[in-house]
Amino acid sequence: MVLTKTQWASTDDKEKFINQFKRLVINDFKEKDFSESFYKRLSMTFRHIAHYDRGGFWSTWFSSRQRQAEFLKRVLRHRPNGSPEYTFCDAERAIQNWLTEHPNYLHRLNTIINEYTTKRELLLLKELKVKYETNGRENKMMFTKTQKPESRRVNGSTVYAAAPEMFDAVNRAFELLLNVTQVRGNSIVIQLTEGNSAEDDYDILLKMFGNIVAKIKGGE
């Protein structure tokens, strides 16, 4: 594309601006490629505003992959206005043509964004399944046994003392697989087969959950 000089800028100035734009995109939006002079010119093209200063502009358009992608989309949506004798509209068209001929740069950003979104959603799905799947399915939480938990009989139930950091996890497991579960302070109260001893109850727990982390706590 043939560039036209203005009263304030030469064709070399316009060519320099185009090359600075390309370098920023090709180098994956490195801050070293966003000089003060380039910022001032860019802030006056593609219907941008100054955003107060270079740092404000960078934060608005380049501080994340999502913002970088939106920046390129904005450039492509823009309709250059004015006359090339007075504006950089011809340089804007040259940049738009270059981005259209090289769609891989926007595609790369969209791919990164989609991969990040997928990973984030899969992690959220995993957390929600742990929280809400209570239909009797096998609980896959595994615990490391440190020592056999102390227990005592209370009104026909067996009380096990649990380490505070494992209390919520063990309690969730009990809620999934046992008929009756109660919480009393830092203890878990479970109702198992009537007449079983604490020893029998503990063996049943091992079969259900594998190894259980427990911390012997004093008191009654």
**In this predicted model, what pLDDT tens digit does every residue of 16-70 receive, in sequence order?**
999 999 999 999 999 999 999 999 999 999 999 867 899 999 999 999 999 999 9
**What span, in angstroms and rounded, lies between the C-alpha atoms of 209 and 65?**
43
Closest to 44 in 3D by CA, of 109, 2, 11, 91? 91
What pLDDT score was predicted for residue 49? 80
What whole-number distance in Å separates Cα of residue 57 and Cα of residue 65?
Answer: 15
Q: In this structure, what token pair is assigned to residue 116?
A: 């990040």
Whether the pLDDT of residue 201 is over 70: the answer is no
CA dihedral 36, 38, 42, 44 (to 10 degrees): 70
Of residues 177 and 130, the one with the higher pLDDT is: 130
pLDDT at 131: 77
- pLDDT for 126: 86
pLDDT at 152: 54
Whole-structure pTM value? 0.58
Per residue in 93-135, pLDDT tens?
999 999 999 999 999 999 999 998 999 899 888 888 887 765 4
Q: Is the pLDDT of residue 5 over 90?
A: yes
Which range is least confidently modeled, 76-85, 112-121, 158-167? 158-167
